[in-house]
Amino acid sequence: MSRMIAKYHIEMTIAALAPHFSERALEIIIAANLKQDSFWNQFGHDEIHYDNNAIDKGNRYINEQRGYVLATLLSPGILGAWIAFGRLLHTAQDFYAHTNYVTLWLDQYNGAPPPPPEIDPLKKELVQSPSLHSGKIYLPMDALYFIKPLRPWALKLLPKDSHGWMNLDTPDQGPKFPYAIAAATQRSTYELDLLRKLLSPEMFSRFTDK
């Protein structure tokens, strides 16, 4: 139960992919990305949003979707590859909004961090750090958090390891938000580059539809 608002998922996906994909491919990838936050994907799907400390499950989910991209492109199909890639990107982007990765990265710099574009989205020591965790969903307070007038009251009752306190879903969350956006955008580019390496040139150009 958590969502970085659609606007940011769209902007980051366009920033990373637009130069590389056809318009119709990009449209389907974005639609699949946004569908991850649909009502029925909010419950019992911690792996999709890296909620509730589902770090390993989230990582596995990304690998699984990457597998679907490859499997689809080994057949004549294409639609399934775009959908799986959109799903993968959503989860990869949520990683930076719902875990403390950005905080761990900033903590390395004793209060004088480099600007957001310099964040490394996959620093090995941090990705594998035992301190890496994500916001826990405490119901009903983490649901009431989304009703804006109730937010201050919900936060008073929520523990600091809750999604309500930890999320970097919107600019309201302060100076860490631009780091989450920068990291998630770079990560999206990284995921595309990884597929470029894994696919044959013929498969890759079928995938990008350009």
Give contact residues for Zn ion (rule: CB under 5 A).
37, 49, 94
Toward Zn ion, which CB reaches closer, 37 or 47?
A: 37
Distance between CA atoms of 183 and 189, rounded to whole angstroms? Answer: 10
C-beta of 164: minimal distance to Zn ion in Å? 15
Beta carbon nearer to Zn ion, 167 or 208 = 167
We find the least distance from the C-beta atom of residue 74 to Zn ion, in angstroms, to be 29
Distances (CA, A) of 18 to 27, 155, 163, 182: 10, 38, 31, 16
- CA 80/CA 113 separation, integer angstroms: 40
Q: Whole-angstrom Cα distance, residue 105 to residue 82?
A: 31
Nearer to Zn ion, 35 or 196 (CB): 35
Spatial contact of 5 and 169, defined as CB atoms under 8 Å apart: yes
Shortest distance (Å) from residue 24 CB to Zn ion: 24
Indicate the residue among 142 and 206 with the shorter CB distance to Zn ion: 142
Chain residue whose CB lies nearest Zn ion: 49
Element (H, E) at 81: helix 79-98
Q: How far is the CB of 50 from Zn ion (least distance, A)?
A: 8
Rounded CA gap, 119 and 82, in Å? 27
Least distance in angstroms from the C-beta of 49 to Zn ion? 4
Task: Give the nearer residue to Zn ion in terms of CB position, either 91 or 186.
Answer: 91
Q: What is the rounded distance in angstroms from the CA atom of residue 112 to the CA atom of residue 205? A: 42
